[in-house]
Amino acid sequence: MDNKIKVAVIGAGASGMVAAITAVKYGAEVTLFEKNDRVGKKILATGNGKCNLGNLEFSVEQYYCRDKEKLKGMFRVFSVWDTISFFESLGLMIKNKNGYLYPYSEQASAVLDILRMELEKSRIHVISGTEITEAVFHKSEELFEIKSPAASAGFFHKLIIACGSPASLKKGEGMTGYRLAKGFGHHVGALLPGLVQLRSGDGFIKALAGIRCKAKITLRVDGKVSAAEEGELQFTDYGISGIPVFQISHIAAYALKNQKDVKVVVDFFPDQEEKTFAYMNRLRFGAHKDMSLENYFTGTLNKKINMVLIKQAGLKPQMKAADAGWEKIWKLAQNSRAFVIHIENVNPLENAQVCAGGVAFDEVTLQMESRLVKGLYFAGEILDVDGKCGGYNLQWAWSSGYIAGRNAAGSSTREIAEGKIYA
C-alpha cells in the first residue's frame, strides 16, 4: 500500500520547482502543474539573462514586507548559503561577483536546465500546458481536488500555490494564483508594479531621452525624503529608468496610489564633496567667464543636460558667462545637484520585474502554510513580499519554495518555528 503524501504544486516557476523537488526529497509524491508549455520561463529573463541567484550581502532590510521578523525566521531556515549548497548539489557551478551570485556560465538557461533535470530525476509528474481553474478542499476527506478546464486533475493531500504574479506578463495574465487563493478565503492586497520605470510629464524629459549617467537620486513623497539610491540613471522619452530607479519604485508606486506628491531629486555629481564642487566652479568661472554658456559648461555634464539646466535658469546658451554673472552661474551649478523630476505614474505591471502586493503575508505561518486552510501552502511572488534588485527576489523564491515543499511533505515544522536551520 502506498502511504506517500500526495502533493500538488501549481506553478512551475522558481519557487514551484524548488518546492516540488524538496517535497520529493522528503518523501512525498508530487505533481507539478504549469500553465505554459514549458516550466521556468521567467527564470530565463532574470539578471539580464544571467540569473542573479542570490546575494552574499543579504539583509531582510532589502525586502518590502509587513513582518520582517517572520521573514527573518524563514531565511534562517533556508539562507543564501543554503541556496549555494542546493544548486551545487544539483551540479551547478556558482560564481561570486562582488557578492552577487551567478551560475558560472552566466547563463540563466543553465539554472533552468539544472532544475528541469532534477524534476526528471526526482520523477516528479510534470503537467504543462494546463491551467488550473479551480481548487477545492474536501474537508470530510481532507483532500484537495484540482480542476482543469477539461476535468478533475486529481486529488491530493497537500496543495502548494506558487503561481507567481502578473509582472512582466501580458495584461490579464498571471492572475490564477490570486483567484485560487481568494477561493480559499485569502485576502489579496493591491497588485502594484515593483522594480519598474517611473513616468514623468515634465517638458524636458523627451530632450534627455537616451542619456545614461551616474547619479544619486532621492525620492521625496509630499516633500519628505523616502529613499535614496546611487547608480546609473537612464532617461527615456517617458521618464527615468535604471537600477537606482527600480530600487525606489516600490515606494513611489504606493505613494502614487495614495495620491501623494512624488518627486525624484537628482544629484549629477554624487562623487563631489560640496567644498570641492564650489571651489572648482569658482575656478571655472574665473578662467572661462568670457565663453558662451553653451561652451562654458562643456566638459561637465552631457550637453543635453547642460542645455536643460541653462533653460531652467532663464538663460540663453549664447550668453556669455560673465554677462549671466557668478550668482546665476553658481545657482545653475547647484541645480545640477538638486535637479527635480516630477513623477506622475509608474510603468504598468507588464513592464515590471516583480509585483508588489499579493496574498497577505500574515495569513501564512512560518511554515508557509495557510492559517485558513490546513494543508494549503504558498510560495514565491504570489505572497505580499518583494525585494530590491540584486538576487533578493530569487532568494525569496528558493527559500519559500523549500519551506513550503518540506512542510507539505510532512516534515516536522517545529524546527522552522524555532528558527533552526535544516541539515
Check whether residue 225 and residue 333 sit in a common domain.
yes
Which residue among 299, 319, 346 closes a domain? 346
Hey, which residues does 193 pair with through a beta bridge?
A: 355
Cα separation of 364 and 37, whole Å? 30
Phi, psi dihedrals of residue 10, rounded to the nearest 5°: -100, 115
Check whether residue 201 and residue 186 sit in a common domain.
no
Residue-range definition of the domain harbouring residue 258: 197-346
pLDDT at 2: 67
C-alpha distance across the termini of the chain, in Å: 30
Check whether residue 17 and residue 77 sit in a common domain.
yes
Which residue among 346, 378, 408 closes a domain? 346
Instruction: Compute the average pLDDT of residues 84-112.
Output: 97
Domain total of the chain: 2
E strands of 176-296, at which residues? Answer: 192-194, 198-199, 212-221, 224-235, 239-241, 262-267
How far does CA 84 lie from the centroid of its chain?
20
Q: Which contiguous run of DSSP H or E holds residue 280?
A: helix 274-288
Write the DSSP assignment of 9-30 as a string of letters: EE--SHHHHHHHHHHHHTT-EE
Check whether residue 124 and residue 180 sit in a common domain.
yes
pLDDT digits (tens, 9 = 90+) for 240-271: 999 999 999 999 999 999 999 999 999 999 99
Check whether residue 22 and residue 56 sit in a common domain.
yes
How do the residues of the chain divide into helix, strand and coil, expressed in percent and rounded to 5? 35, 25, 40
pLDDT at 151: 56
pLDDT digits (tens, 9 = 90+) for 330-388: 999 999 999 999 999 999 999 999 999 999 999 999 999 999 999 999 999 999 999 99
CATH, residue 12: 3.50.50.60
pLDDT at 153: 72
Which residue among 288, 312, 346 closes a domain? 346
Cα separation of 264 and 63, whole Å? 21
Check whether residue 209 and residue 140 sit in a common domain.
no
Q: Dmax of the chain from CA atoms?
A: 94
Q: Which of 54-63, 144-153, 185-194, 414-423 has the lowest mean pLDDT?
A: 414-423
User: How, if at all, do strands 143-147 and 152-156 pair?
Assistant: antiparallel
Q: In terms of DSSP H, where are the helices of 313-370?
A: 321-324, 326-335
Instruction: Compute the average pLDDT of residues 83-93.
Output: 97
Classify residue 286 by burial, with Cβ atoms within 10 Å: 0-12, 13-18, 19+: exposed
Check whether residue 44 and residue 162 sit in a common domain.
yes
- Evaluate the CA torsion angle 362, 366, 372, 373 in order and state its sign: positive
Check whether residue 201 and residue 260 sit in a common domain.
yes
> How many CA within 13 A on the CB side of residue 241?
16
DSSP state of 4: P
| Residue 70 is assigned to a structural domain of this protein | yes
pLDDT at 414: 41
How confident is the prediction for the chain on average, in pLDDT? 94
Nearest partner of 230 among 280, 272, 276, judged by Cα = 272
pLDDT digits (tens, 9 = 90+) for 142-183: 999 999 886 567 899 999 999 999 999 999 899 999 999 999
Cα separation of 388 and 298, whole Å? 36
Instruction: Compute the average pLDDT of residues 81-104.
Output: 97
- pLDDT band per the 50, 70, 90 thresholds, residue 1: very low
pLDDT at 3: 81
Instruction: Compute the average pLDDT of residues 82-98.
Output: 97
